[in-house]
Structure 1
Amino acid sequence: MDARQLEYFLAVVDHDGFSRAAARLHIAQPSLSQAIAALERDLGVKLFHRLGRGVVLSDAGAELIEPARQVIRDLEAARATMDSTKGLRRGRVEMVSMPSPGIEPLGTLTRDFSRRHPGLSIRVDAAFTATEVVERVRQGAAELGLAGAPEVLSPPGVNVLPLEAQDFVLVEPPDDESSAFSDDEPVSGADLAGARAIVTPEDSVMRRIVDDVLAEGTDIHIVAEVAHRTSILPLVLHGVGLAILPESWSTLARRSGARVRRLTPAPQLHVALVSRVAPLTPAARAFLAVADDYAASRTHPEHGRSGRGGVGGRGHAFFPLEVL
């Protein structure tokens, strides 16, 4: 068994079959099939069940995924460490993030990281729950992940760097003449009686907030339920209804003409950067150092930014969310 065989195995897993994996690896499909067959002979187990022209992962194959990713990550870390002896001039951070953290704090973190290490790059894949982020990091699919939850994150099997606790806000259509709220007036759940709301699917944090208000007897009409988080603000701007969003969207919403109100009491999310326990590549360690400085500045604003300082000229008005 060698690293190349493990890389080929993971490619078949990640791309749902031999043909797409071969295309991604830029090799002929028969060569890929031969490599996987050799790996199966070496291990003495079948990693895939062949079904017609397709394949299904076997139980043994499922057990191999996490250690295979660990081996590949460790080799990458070793190569990157050798490169770093010549100076941290190249490399890439492999991350995963949920939608709202993809606005902030990822924007500020990436800006600071790029300024410190202009030769390095970042690749960010998408996830939609804290559990998904943690699993991707734990299994080695990414070295780092941005996650958010209603409580402080403390999942096993990964390292956790808390970044900040953040509020939800109410976002209303621009020039909404029906709004009964002044610009600076905080809005309670009872104040939303008769409102038309845009929500995300059940089991999301934002939907949970709306459902809690409904459970208290406030009549809110859910006019739209959308899975695509990026669709919410455009729907608000079209006047379809209001939405409860993480404050990460506030600056963009205001710049687009929407009205943003504070909620009282304000539900919060706790946002953290999770990292794998195994040794990180030098690029990932460099990004983690930037995140550590960011977290320190949020805890001790006198060390750098103000408590809500940052991108956008209005202070740091961007805050991430686990699931909108």
Structure 2
Amino acid sequence: MSGSRYLFSNGILSHTLDVPPVKLFLEAHPGAYTTSRTHNNASCLLFWERHMKRLSESVQILSNLAPQLLFKSNNATSLLPLIPNFPVRQPALHKLVDDSLGKVLPIALKERVDSVELAITTLVSGNLKELNTYVPPQFGIRENGAHLAVGGYGRNVAAAKYSDWVRIRKTLEKLRPPSVTELLLSNDGNQILEGCVTNFFVVCRKDSGSDDGNVPYDYGNKNNFEVQTAPINDGVLPGIIRQLVLEVCRNEGIPFREVAPSWSKHEIWEEAFITSSLRLLQHVDSIQVPTEWQSAHSKTWKDISWTKKQFQVGGPGMITTLIQVK
């Protein structure tokens, strides 16, 4: 991602020439992280309180279930006695991050070009308290839809967002065709969980309740559709935008169900979209799935036979648009 980068770590500010791209930075350091962005000409941080809450929860989960993903040590178990003193309480962590942000954000704002928005990645580990802030391309509603492919197994300790997942994602790249913008995860090739860096939603047709094949389907009625996304218990990341989408559906009376979308029922999928703190909500143009799931992971994308679903051309559908504008 192009643009200037700034890193504030342990009281030291580094500038672009000394700061690696955020992907490489996360690959090199263990810990819990979250990524947010500014909005409205960098006048505010989007959903900052929610990001701090998730960061605190991720640190707590990793410290209890997978300390090796949080602490930089060859023997993570040796650090377990120190974990109770680690600042996992949300107010303490919030203050730590805000103090760092207050030192680096004014510099990033002063030196940004053409009033672009900022992306802010915060990493917390047992040895580091890192803040990596960089300037990405201009944000906004994307005209182009996403092209997805199912190509990886679900993540471990999905309830927490941790930097080691960046390294794991890198190993999945051999399965990603060049035209695909995001890989989706599934444990069986049918139940789709989420994307590598996004949550995944489909909009399905509901049964019309009529046996008369001549009765036209009312595509303009939102009650004839159902939004589906995998539940947290299936092992997906509890994304902030994911939760906001569910809240919008509830407030707007859009039927939804937390269930992993099944590829075997893709003929009733009318729309699909992905969400993340940087993308916000992006509609999907196409999804492809290996015809042979079990053997796919030993191959590269060129050796895989794919089955593809193409959605409507011309932008997001009715339900996706309704959720997007809210």
TM-score (norm 2): 0.29
**Greater RCO (Cα-Cα under 8 Å, separation 6 or more):** 1
TM-score (norm 1): 0.29
Larger Rg: 1
Instruction: Looking at secondary structure, tell me which structure has more strand per residue.
Output: 2
